[in-house]
Every structure is written in structure tokens, then in C-alpha cells.
């Protein structure tokens, strides 16, 4: 994987007020971690937004050129650790970078992309379920893939692709269970609804019988209650005569 150059400046501004002012001036504050000591930086918003558009959704190795006071630049090989967003405007308000070594293995989360249209979706109206959207890999920075491309065109309804079914380059270790499902094809929603309705109808039959029995029992009870009232006056008439 090739490195991408990104320019930054050392940052002296600290505190919420100064950082707000810095953002209004068109900068994004950040911190570079790793090495002997972390240090604060600032990057122009326009250059970072351009970088994001060109490398959206990719794990990128960045050659961060940090301008110092004596008009010299210090190169740092880094990767983005975290981007903080404003909860309302969703603008990027802070950046965290991690220093890395090109000769040491790193752990990264790489996005999974489905290639093609599954047979079960195209021919039978099923739906493709994306269970794992990214996989955690361990490898040298140079061996790190931008994304994991998985061909799903042969999948039928009920089929699935597991971690063990995906081939990776030599030197890449997957930090997931081999049987973990990455992608699967589910049956059409209509079939599931019809099955639920059929089960519902079968389950409703005992309730109808129960109601009928309860009705018969109540009717018989009413008849028993009425019968003594009719026979009582007849007995009294016989005594008087």
C-alpha cells in the first residue's frame, strides 16, 4: 500500500476557547500519539476534506509532514486513530493519529465489500445480509489491504460466506473465529410472513374450541338455575289443594 502525504503544523493553541477560534480560522486540531511523546498539530480543513474524499472508507498509511519553527518538516508515518464529530453539525472537530513502524505488524479494521449479485437475490427474490461490515486484521503496513472484496454471485438462499472461506495474502492474520458469518442470503420476506400467518391460524383453533366449551358450560349453568324456579311454584300448588 502506498503512502499518502498530508501536511500539518505544530499547534500551540490549547483550551476550548482557542480551539474554537482555530476551527473558525479553517483548521482542525489534532494530536499525534506514539513514539517518545505525543504532540499537538493542526491541519487545514480544506486539505483534510480533500484527503477524505480521495480515500473514503480506506485504511491509509499517511506520511504526515509537520512544519516546525525553523522552516523544517518532520516526517511521521501515521494512521488515523479517531475522528471526532460535532454532534449537531457533524463537522470534524478533532483528529487523533497513531505513529506506526513499517517493519512492525499492526492491527487494523478493514471494510468488507460484496462483489456481484447473489443468485438467491437475483433469481429467488432473497436478500443479502451483511453480518460483518469489517474484519480485524494483523499484518505489516505494506501488506494491509484497502478493502476485502468478497464475490457473492454464487450464493443461493440459505448460503453463507464464513471467515474461513475468504482468502488473504500471505502474512495477513484474521482476528476472528473461522466459522463467523460474514455474508448470507435470506429467503424473501413474503415467505416468512406466510409462514407466520400459517402458524397463527394453527394456533387459533384451540381457542375457538375453548370458547365453544365455555359457551356450552355457561348455557347449561343458566338452565340449571332456571329449572328450580319453575318447579317450586308447582310444589306449593299441590300442597294447597
Domain edges within the chain: 3-99, 106-187, 190-241
Cα(41)–Cα(46) distance, rounded to whole angstroms?
15
Question: What pLDDT digit, counting tens, does each position of 114-129 carry?
Answer: 999 999 999 999 999 9
Residue 84, pLDDT score? 96
Task: Quickly state the pLDDT bin for 73 (edges 50, 70, 90).
Answer: low
Indicate if 106-187 has the same CATH topology as 3-99.
no
Indicate if the pLDDT at residue 105 is higher than 50. yes
Residue 231, pLDDT score? 45
**pTM summary value:** 0.64
Give the position of cell 289443594.
241
Q: Specify the higher pLDDT residue, 99 or 194.
A: 99
Residue 205, pLDDT score? 54
Residue 191, pLDDT score? 56
Give the position of cell 472461506.
165
Question: What pLDDT digit, counting tens, does each position of 192-210 carry?
Answer: 555 566 666 655 555 554 5
Question: What pLDDT digit, counting tens, does each position of 3-36 carry?
Answer: 899 999 999 888 889 999 999 999 999 999 987 7
Strands (E), 70-126: 73-85, 92-99, 106-115
Q: Worst-scoring range by mean pLDDT, 6-20, 57-71, 166-180, 195-209?
A: 195-209
* Domain 3-99: assigned CATH number: 2.40.240.10
> Mapping DSSP to helix (H, G, I), strand (E, B) and coil, where does residue 37 land?
coil
Q: What percent of the chain has pLDDT over 90?
A: 63
24 CB-contact burial (10 Å; exposed 0-12 / middle 13-18 / buried 19+): exposed
Q: Worst-scoring range by mean pLDDT, 28-37, 139-148, 149-158, 193-202?
A: 193-202
Residue 150, pLDDT score? 97
Indicate if the pLDDT at residue 238 is higher than 50. no
CA angle 138, 139, 145 (to 5 degrees): 100
Give the position of cell 493553541.
13
Report the candidate in 71, 76, 91 with the shortest Cα–Cα distance to residue 41.
76
Mean pLDDT of 50-73: 78
CA distances from 73 to 31, 69, 70, 110 (A): 17, 9, 9, 30
What architecture is the 106-187 domain classified under in CATH? Beta Complex (2.170)
Q: 183-192: string of b/e by CB count within 10 Å (b at 16+)?
A: bbbbeeeeee
What does the mean pLDDT of the chain come to? 83
Amino acid at each position: 500500500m502506498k503512502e499518502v502525504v498530508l501536511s500539518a503544523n505544530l499547534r500551540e493553541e490549547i483550551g476550548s476557547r482557542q480551539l474554537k477560534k482555530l476551527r473558525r480560522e479553517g483548521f482542525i486540531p489534532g494530536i499525534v500519539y506514539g513514539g517518545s511523546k505525543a504532540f499537538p498539530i493542526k491541519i487545514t480543513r480544506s486539505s483534510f476534506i480533500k484527503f477524505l474524499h480521495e480515500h473514503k472508507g480506506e485504511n491509509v498509511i499517511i506520511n504526515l509532514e509537520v512544519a516546525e519553527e525553523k522552516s523544517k518538516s518532520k516526517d511521521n508515518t501515521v494512521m488515523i486513530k479517531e475522528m471526532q464529530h460535532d454532534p449537531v453539525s457533524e463537522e470534524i472537530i478533532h483528529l487523533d493519529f497513531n505513529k506506526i513502524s513499517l517493519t512492525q505488524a499492526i492491527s487494523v479494521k478493514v471494510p468488507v465489500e460484496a462483489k456481484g449479485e447473489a443468485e438467491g437475490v437475483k433469481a429467488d427474490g432473497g436478500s443479502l445480509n451483511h453480518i460483518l461490515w469489517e474484519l480485524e486484521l494483523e499484518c505489516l503496513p505494506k501488506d494491509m489491504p484497502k478493502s476485502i472484496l468478497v464475490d457473492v454471485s454464487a450464493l443461493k438462499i440459505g448460503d453463507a460466506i464464513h471467515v474461513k472461506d475468504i482468502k488473504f495474502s500471505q502474512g495477513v492474520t484474521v482476528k476472528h473465529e473461522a466459522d463467523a458469518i460474514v455474508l448470507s442470503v435470506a429467503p424473501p420476506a413474503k415467505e416468512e410472513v406466510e409462514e407466520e400467518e400459517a402458524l397463527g391460524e394453527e394456533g387459533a383453533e384451540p381457542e375457538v374450541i375453548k370458547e365453544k366449551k365455555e359457551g356450552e358450560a355457561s348455557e347449561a349453568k343458566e338452565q340449571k338455575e332456571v329449572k328450580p324456579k319453575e318447579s317450586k311454584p308447582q310444589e306449593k300448588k299441590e300442597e294447597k289443594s
